[in-house]
């Protein structure tokens, strides 16, 4: 049986970055994926992922966000590929709502250049956006998007070039402990390693025992809208816009908010991408996701009609993607309870932007080193009941 220092299960976002870092450090690493990443059966497809440093999800992410930005730029130099394009990132919501207050707190704590904008200023600057006067915005100008499929190709190419062994079209069925080693069983055989990282995204649950019960796969309908004029929605002009708006039909400022976003169109003939970020239905990662329903398309159309009106009557196509949520919507990274040699990672629907720094952190964890940033907050062993932070959810389709 072939033996490695580390086996990484899943070569998507986290797994490909971890393999690259481990291989660059001279660790003998086997990466196994049931498909051929990048692909459309997980959480990393869809042409664009937003990258920002002000992090409304919590200041605990700030050091990782900074480091990731630098690493994306370094990776561009190393690979000769264009990975990150700036286009700005605009958070829109009630001035006292969790998204905007979280954005501002993070930008101020991190000393990240930003602008505060009224609804009127937003409407003037980006005519497609139509926030009502009770909303406001926070702009991080030096933010943008990365191209996820290219990024994963780069991670895998560099991993292989640095000596990683990569197996695709090979499904991991499970693992067992054999003395000091861990045996990983796949559709094609078994391999042995000292440490194993389970980076199987939405399918990680079955491979993680009790820790898997913390994970909640969600199906995310993603809508692609033909812009009425290419220039106003183009990458570099149109910002990533993330909205947290009161749920329709309530005046209660403490009622749950609906969250959705729109991302710029990429390239000639490109479409604007829009999706809801909360209120998502459970997904079954082991079976093909049902396509977006007429009701789901109608829900995004209603939201566009209210907040991005020029897009509402435009042609739409839709597909689906997966989030792997945790109870508190924060990442999960570290050794699982009861086994110091098996590590989990789950990215709660907002992890792509951190991929290169996650590669470093996960490599550190499996190598028994202390990561440069404190990630104890994300440990699967973290004490206490996970809190819900400021992320509230509502039922799908109410907006
Ligand atoms: C619609 C959408 C929009 C998003 N937008 C953003 C954004 O703008 N910014 C951002 O930062 N993040 C965003 N995210 C989140 C981000 O894309 C995910 O957090 C990230 O891609 C998850 O990475 P992963 O490595 O956990 O999963 P994946 O990238 O899906 O990788 C998991 C891999 O494991 C493999 N695998 C699974 N089971 C097995 C098995 N048994 N054996 C072998 N291999 C297996 C899969 O084939 C897959 O390749 C978005 C996600 C979605 C769905």
Q: What is the pLDDT of residue 375?
A: 94
Q: Which residues pair with 145 in a beta bridge?
A: 50, 85
Q: Phi and psi at residue 98, in whole multiples of 5°?
A: -60, -35
Q: Which residue is closest in CA terms to ligand 1's atom 24?
A: 201
In sequence order, what DSSP letters do the residues of 151-220 get, joined into one string? HHHHHHHHHHHTT-EEE-S--EEEEEEETTEEEEEESS-EEEEEEEEE--GGG-GGGSGGGGGG-EEEEE
Residue 241 lies in a domain: yes
Measured between alpha carbons, how far is 239 from 116 in angstroms, rounded to an integer? 15
For residue 398, being part of any structural domain is answered with no
Is it the case that residue 385 has pLDDT exceeding 50?
A: no
pLDDT tens column, 285-294:
999 999 999 9
Collapse the DSSP code of 115 into the 3-class scheme (helix H, G, I; strand E, B; otherwise coil) and give the result: strand
**Residue 265 forms part of a structural domain:** yes
The label of the residue with tokens 């996960």 reads 362
**Residues β-bridged to residue 320:** 221
Model confidence over 167-186: pLDDT tens digits?
A: 999 999 999 999 999 999 99
Side-chain half-sphere of 297: how many Cα atoms within 13 Å?
13
pLDDT digits (tens, 9 = 90+) for 127-169: 999 999 999 999 999 999 999 999 999 999 999 999 999 999 9
- Say if CB 263 and CB 49 are below 8 A apart: no
Q: Contact at 8 Å (CB) between 232 and 128?
A: yes
- Residue 396 inside a domain? The answer is no
Structure tokens at 210: 């009790």
Q: Report the separation in Å between the CA atom of 44 and the middle of ligand 1, taken as the mean of its atom positions.
A: 4
* CA–centroid distance, residue 177 to ligand 1 (Å): 27
Percentage above 90 pLDDT, the chain: 90
Q: Is residue 330 lining ligand 1, measured as CB closer than 6 Å? A: no
Which DSSP string corresponds to 249-307? T---TTSPEEEEEEE-B-STT--EEEEE-SSPEE--TTSPPPPPPHHHHHHHHHHHHHH
201 lines ligand 1 (CB under 6 A): yes
Could you tell me if residue 386 is inside a domain?
A: no
Question: CA 67 → CA 51, 113, 120, 218, distances in Å?
Answer: 12, 16, 34, 28
Specify if 158 maps to a domain.
yes
> 116: domain CATH number?
3.30.9.10
pLDDT at residue 37 is higher than 80 = yes
Reduced to 3 states, what is the DSSP secondary structure of residue 370? coil
User: What backbone torsions phi and psi does residue 332 show, to the nearest 5 degrees?
Assistant: -125, 120
- CA–CA distance, 182 with 9 (Å, rounded to integer): 13
384 part of a folded domain: no
Whether residue 22 is contained in a domain is answered as yes
Residue 18 beta carbon below 6 angstroms from any ligand 1 atom: no
Q: What is the pLDDT of residues 296-338, one digit of tens each?
A: 999 999 999 999 999 999 999 999 999 999 999 999 999 999 9
- Can you give the residue range of the structural domain that contains 94? 3-378
The pLDDT score that the predictor gives to residue 256 is: 78
Torsion 375-377-380-381 (CA) sign:
positive
The predicted structure's pLDDT at residue 246: 86
**Residue 313 alpha carbon to ligand 1 centre in Å:** 31
* Nearest C-alpha neighbor of 107 from the set 137, 136, 140: 140
For ligand 1, mutation pick of 140, 218, 221, 351 (most atoms within 8 Å of CB) = 351
Domains in the chain, number: 1
Contact 18, 8 (CB under 8 A): yes
């Amino acid at each position: 049986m072939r033996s490695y220092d580390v086996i990484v299960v899943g070569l998507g976002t986290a797994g490909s970055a971890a393999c690259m870092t481990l291989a660059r450090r001279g660790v003998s690493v086997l990466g196994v994926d049931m498909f051929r990443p990048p692909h459309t059966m997980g959480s990393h497809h869809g042409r664009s992922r937003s990258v920002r440093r002000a992090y409304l999800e919590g200041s605990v992410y700030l050091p990782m966000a900074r480091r990731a930005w630098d690493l994306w730029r370094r990776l561009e130099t190393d690979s000769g590929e264009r990975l990150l394009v700036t286009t700005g990132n605009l958070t829109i919501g009630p001035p006292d709502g969790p998204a905007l207050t979280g954005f501002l707190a993070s930008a101020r704590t991190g000393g990240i250049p930003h602008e505060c904008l009224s609804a009127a200023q937003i409407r003037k600057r980006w005519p497609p956006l139509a926030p009502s006067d009770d909303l406001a915005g926070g702009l991080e100008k030096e933010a943008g998007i990365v191209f996820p499929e290219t990024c994963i190709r780069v991670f895998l190419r560099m991993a292989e070039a640095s000596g990683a062994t990569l197996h695709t079209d090979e499904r991991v069925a499970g693992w067992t402990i054999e003395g000091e080693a861990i045996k990983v069983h796949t559709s094609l055989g078994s391999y042995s390693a000292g440490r194993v990282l389970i980076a199987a995204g939405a399918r990680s649950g079955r491979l993680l025992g009790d820790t898997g019960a913390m994970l909640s796969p969600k199906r995310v309908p993603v809508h692609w809208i033909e812009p009425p004029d290419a220039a106003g929605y183009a990458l570099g002009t149109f910002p990533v816009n993330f909205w947290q708006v009161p749920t329709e039909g309530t005046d209660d400022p403490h009622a749950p908010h609906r969250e959705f976003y729109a991302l710029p169109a990429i390239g000639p003939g490109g479409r604007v991408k829009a999706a809801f970020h909360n209120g998502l239905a459970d997904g079954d990662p082991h079976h093909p996701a049902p396509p977006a329903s007429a009701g789901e398309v109608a829900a995004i159309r209603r939201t566009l009609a209210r907040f991005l009106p020029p897009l509402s009557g435009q042609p739409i196509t839709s597909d689906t993607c997966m989030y792997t949520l945790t109870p508190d919507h924060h990442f999960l990274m570290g050794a699982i309870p009861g086994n110091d040699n098996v590590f989990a990672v789950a990215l709660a629907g907002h992890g792509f932007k951190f991929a290169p720094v996650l590669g470093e952190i996960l490599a550190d964890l499996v190598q028994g080193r202390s990561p440069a940033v404190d990630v104890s907050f994300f440990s699967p062993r973290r004490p206490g009941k996970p809190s819900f932070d400021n992320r509230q959810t509502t039922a799908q389709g109410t907006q």
